[in-house]
């Protein structure tokens, strides 16, 4: 496994990695990040679908959680560049963001058009990972700004432009609802949800109660059970797979709350639906 990371005060993070890990793994980040695949293949799974990422592909993953599936027909090598909301907004305020398209909802993973300019940018990053000493912070900031300006300059990246427009309009206004609707199926702590929403835990609980009229714990349990019921009814996934993909890490706890909510154990409830 080859791995190199640059970190500056947890604000800008760049990684080059050729991991050897297997199967399906949960990954979460409180920063947005770009993924550029140098070799191999992985699949990002979200609540709204799956995204195959192959050699030469680039995606933008919104802050939150995903499941990442590994394939072994080739070594997987990737560049990951993590960017906080504040840095994105600061870098783009001067580029006429009023010209960006607007939309209300945003997918958790946004495919990025990889033209020759963007491809050249990612390959230029490899020289920094090859050095013994990390690059100067000011230089790395310039490279991150270059990435943002290059990606948003391509008119084919309208979804990315629209998401950045939502950040520039005021990330606090819509962050909580977007974060919760996109990440309820992941077994994150309330502290992690609060961090994703750019709030303290107390502010997160207060704003959540105001928005949804219930506590985060009750809302999460209801959403996860509804998803579990949908997966049990419409897929052939095992009970263990359904529990994991619905945000339950403990199978016995899942079976207990499923029975309490639906009136039968998961396997028995599925059999009834097929009648």
Total residues found in the chain within this entry: 275
Q: How many CB atoms lie within 10 A of CB 39?
A: 13
Q: Convert the pLDDT of each residue in 198-217 to its tens digit.
A: 889 999 999 999 999 999 99
Task: List, in order of start, the domains of the chain with CATH numbers.
Answer: 2-169 (2.60.120.810), 171-275 (1.10.10.60)
User: What is the sign, positive or negative, of the torsion defined by CA atoms of 191, 195, 197, 202?
Assistant: positive
Structure tokens at 238: 């095992």
Q: How many DSSP H helices and E strands does the chain contain?
A: 11, 10
Asked whether 204 and 216 are in contact (CB, 8 A), the reply is yes
Q: Convert the pLDDT of each residue in 114-144 to its tens digit.
A: 999 999 999 998 888 888 788 888 888 899 9
Angstrom distances, CA of residue 6 to CA of 14, 15, 16, 120, 140: 5, 7, 9, 20, 9
Is pLDDT of 1 > 70?
no
Query: Is the whole model's pTM more than 0.85, yes or no?
Result: no
Beta strands (DSSP E) in the chain are: 2-8, 12-18, 24-29, 32-39, 41-46, 49-54, 58-61, 64-70, 77-83, 109-112
Q: What distance in Å separates the CA atoms of residue 140 and residue 138, rounded to the nearest whole number? A: 5
In three-state secondary structure terms, 222 is: helix
């Amino acid at each position: 496994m080859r791995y190199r990371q640059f970190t500056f005060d947890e604000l800008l993070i760049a990684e080059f990695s050729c991991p050897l890990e297997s199967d399906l793994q949960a990954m979460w980040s409180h920063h947005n990040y770009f993924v550029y695949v140098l070799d191999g293949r992985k699949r990002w799974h979200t609540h709204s679908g799956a995204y195959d990422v192959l050699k030469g592909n680039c995606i933008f993953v919104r802050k939150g959680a995903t499941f990442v599936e590994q394939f072994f027909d080739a070594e997987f090598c990737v560049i990951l560049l993590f960017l906080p909301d504040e840095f994105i907004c600061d870098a783009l305020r001067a580029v006429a963001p009023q010209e960006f398209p607007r939309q209300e909802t945003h997918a958790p993973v946004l495919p990025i058009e990889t033209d020759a300019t963007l491809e050249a940018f990612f390959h230029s990053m490899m020289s920094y990972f090859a050095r013994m000493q990390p690059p100067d912070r000011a230089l790395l900031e310039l490279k991150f700004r270059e990435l943002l300006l290059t990606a948003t300059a391509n008119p084919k990246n309208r979804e990315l432009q629209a998401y950045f427009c939502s950040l520039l309009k005021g990330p606090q206004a819509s962050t909580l609802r977007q974060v919760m609707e996109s990440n309820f199926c992941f077994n994150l702590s309330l502290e992690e949800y609060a961090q994703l929403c750019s709030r303290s835990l107390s502010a997160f609980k207060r704003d959540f109660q105001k928005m949804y009229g219930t506590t985060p714990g009750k809302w999460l349990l209801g959403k996860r059970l509804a998803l579990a019921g949908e997966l049990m009814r419409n897929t052939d996934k095992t009970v263990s797979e359904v529990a994991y993909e619905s945000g339950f890490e403990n199978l016995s706890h899942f079976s207990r709350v499923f029975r309490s909510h639906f009136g039968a154990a998961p396997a028995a409830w599925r059999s009834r639906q097929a009648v």
